[in-house]
Structure 1
Amino acid sequence: MLIEAVGGEGDGVAAGPIYVPFTLPGERVRVTGGGDRRDLAEVLAASPDRVEPPCPHFGVCGGCALQHWAHAPYLAWKSDRIVRTLARERIETEVLPVYAAGPGARRRLALHARRGGPDVARLGYKARRSWDLVEVGVCPIADPALQGAIPALARLAAPLFEHPKSAPTLHVTLTATGVDVEITGVEAKSGGLSADARMRIAEQAAAADFARVTLAGEVAYMARTPQVRLGPATVALPPGAFLQAAPGAEAAMTAFVGEAAAGAARIADLHCGVGTFTFRLAAIAPVYAADMSGEAVSALRAALSTAPGLKGVTAEARDLVRRPVLADELRKTDVVVFDPPRAGAAEQAAEIARSDASRVVGVSCNPATFARDARILIDAGFRLDRLLPVDQFLWSPHVELVGVFSR
């Protein structure tokens, strides 16, 4: 079978189409199974772009799909994915070189836990196309400090299985003040964890010197408030707060957004979170910031006192799907930045399109919904000037982007 391309999920694609994981364009392979999804049995003629995967778990772990592809063609494929997605909406623009986060750059991980021994849980990622767990001892995408914390995290998870339906996930974030762990998936209908289990969690967290451990937002242990630096501000993170996955990618994105907003008189930062872009933008002009998470907005407001010299920030907790910022509310706002979740921001884009804004910056983790929202703006008289692809989910099919529009 000849592999002709790589599909959107990172699998090789042969005529049919038939999808074969861990294959590359131009390779001849032998496969097993039936239907449109087959399993790779043997590579008969390898691509010159095939490389040795750096992780011993690759091929079984469901976290990475493309470690077998050389870096340059892998990045070119990610850029081309964006170009082809935009083309479906009849959009062309200048696509800049991809910003690529390297190995060891991820500061956020979601680790699944399953019952193990009395003192240590099984901890890792879901297997490819399965609910089975692949225990990991190393993870090349993760910051070395998070890799080093995996054994302690497995011990921390051991007391979480008092209820047979519990399937915990540890959302782990490396902050400036230490490791922050938010635990979800612990069955609470029976009253939640016992006092003994909570005590064991606190003991393990203290032994590992974690900054904080929370259970569905409730503090179970805290030695220090988890904090991050966002531009000139120091932000105390609420439990489960969203951050860009790699600090280097965050820096590249905020620099790009700041450059696009240069010279603004008034800025709106919509879906602002804890202020990833807000603080950088507020050094340029007064900012109106809005996000549906009240906890994130409260953290943003509290951090304003740590960043003197800003032009001013007004922050509001607001559901931007049900209650988007209206065009009339954006009067005198000449730059709008929006960074929605994967579903995009069709309702908000329609209001931006009707506003008097002269520049718009769209940040997206989903090229398809970005293209849909971009078409709304373009139909209203905007032009997509340039676009920065961002690869901070290394070796996955996931790609992010920042696009700059002008009238």
Structure 2
Amino acid sequence: MSGGPAEQGKNTRLVTSGRRKEWTGPVVNPPVWRASTHLYETEADRKAGGTSNSDGEFYYGRRGAPTQWALSDALTQLEPEAFGTVLYPSGVAAITGALLAVLRPGEVLLVTDNAYEPTRLAALGLLKSFGIETRFFDPLDLDGFEHAFCEKTKAVMLESPGSLTMEVSDVPALAAIARDKGAVSLLDNTWASPLGFAALEHGCDISIMSLTKHVGGHSDLMMGSASAGEKYYRRLRRTAQALGHVVSPDDASLALRGLRTMGVRLKKSTASALEIARWLYGRPEVGFVRCPMLPDSPDYRLWQRDFTGGCGLFCFVLKDSSEAARARFIDTLDLFGIGYSWGGFESLVIPFDPASIRTAMPWPPASAGTGERLGIRLSIGLEDTEDLIHDLERGFTAMEQA
């Protein structure tokens, strides 16, 4: 549960965290403990066990075993100021589980208008059925955010950069306002991970990740996590146990394996994404590029102030194009798979048109030119950057063909 030495670098913690001797024994990685039933030596041991409901104590398979505990411990050590981390069977389960842990019927939740669409759907569906009201806000408007609170507002769901359209918000300021108003702040921190943005250090109460993305890194597992200080960790843990949330030890082992190389993979994909974003910025077919790491980005100042790293996910918007031309562009790509998710070793592409799911902030943005509305999201993998650029160039050529 305790964090690693504060003076150790992030990549050192990626390699060493979660590898307690009592979990690994004489080998490098903790074995895969497949177990539903945990046995006690005596009846007295059974009566004494399971009282803390914490990682590291055998009780029953739903509470995990050394494979899952090692992953939770490693993630906790990566998140400054975290007391513990709860694992969930998917990123969406982490989001809904965390929200259910901090909200009650009759309360109000504020959600950033550029949130991950399943977050929006959970708020308007599941949470609504529990009597929780959701209101959406523009995360770039601090004054408007402050005035969005009412006496029933008890939680705020943040995401930065925003899903699909990649706006960076002033998370420390938003979290500070939420705290002053007596609300819990939750951040979907999947894009940057703790390697790029220390959510709790920047004022958030709960940091959520889809481990399916960067941590897994190989597009072969589904998992989520939520890290917090002791107060909210206890609430997260109790709610997860009540909901029966558990991850398989096999998937936890895969996530641990991916975690060890996450730093070098992010470094490569981030560098490639920045180079490709610069190249796209100069293309005549492109209206604008939304990549927070790009010095020409309107959000670059905030990104440079708050972030210590990025990733390979960004977007751009076509200029004076049609849906048919966008489809030709995507269909021509060879190295970019057409599919959801991101953060794996392979590059991906999807089109996006978020206007129908935005209620508090406009799409296209007010700064966009005429005809700049059709978006394309890229997840840059580990391929050679020049090959990816060549592939995109072929896509632009095909776009012009009737």
Q: TM-score, normalised by structure 1?
A: 0.32
Higher RCO (Cα < 8 Å, 6 or more apart)? 2
Larger Rg, first or second structure (1 or 2): 1
More helix by share: 2
Q: TM-score, normalised by structure 2?
A: 0.32
More strand by share: 1
